Amino acid sequence: MEDNNDKVLNNMKYLIQQYQAILEWMNSHLDEDGICRSTHKQMASHIDVSQAEISNIIKNLIELGCIERIKDLDVYTLRSTDLSHTPIFVLYDLAYLIKKQPNLSYAQQADILDISFTELEKAYGYLTFALS
């Protein structure tokens, strides 16, 4: 039986895999102008999630600075396929730190993880999602 720690880690892994799959899809479907014109339906079908989930992932990838939406259209340019520079990437380290040292302040956690307080806040948002 899966314990809570395993469940959280598996949810985090799944979340990161979804984000990476969308970035890889977009990267492999860029036109000659560097624009991904794939529909949410096509992307959803590729990674086997709902179109609503694709919309949420894309919204978050825009916030993370990985992709940019062109005007009010549903077409995107890829800014980065590397999630390691984003708050989502510190999820494993944050979960481990909380488990090992649960009484640290947010400032101490940010210091130990070598990220800004704002990045820590964003990471907590993703951690909250992984817990659900």
Query: Which residue from 69, 73, 46 is spatially nearest to 58, judged by alpha carbons?
Result: 69
Q: pTM (2 decimals)?
A: 0.78
Please count the other Cβ atoms lying within 10 Å of the Cβ belonging to residue 58. Answer: 20
DSSP string, 38-104: --HHHHHHHHT--HHHHHHHHHHHHHTTSEEE-TTSS-EEES-S-GGGSGGGGHHHHHHHHHH-TT-
In the CATH scheme, what is the code of domain 19-81?
A: 1.10.10.10
Query: pLDDT per residue over 51-90, tens digit each?
Result: 999 999 999 899 888 999 998 787 999 999 988 878 788 8
What are the sequence ranges of the domains in the chain?
A: 19-81, 86-131
Phi and psi at residue 109, to the nearest 5°? -60, -45
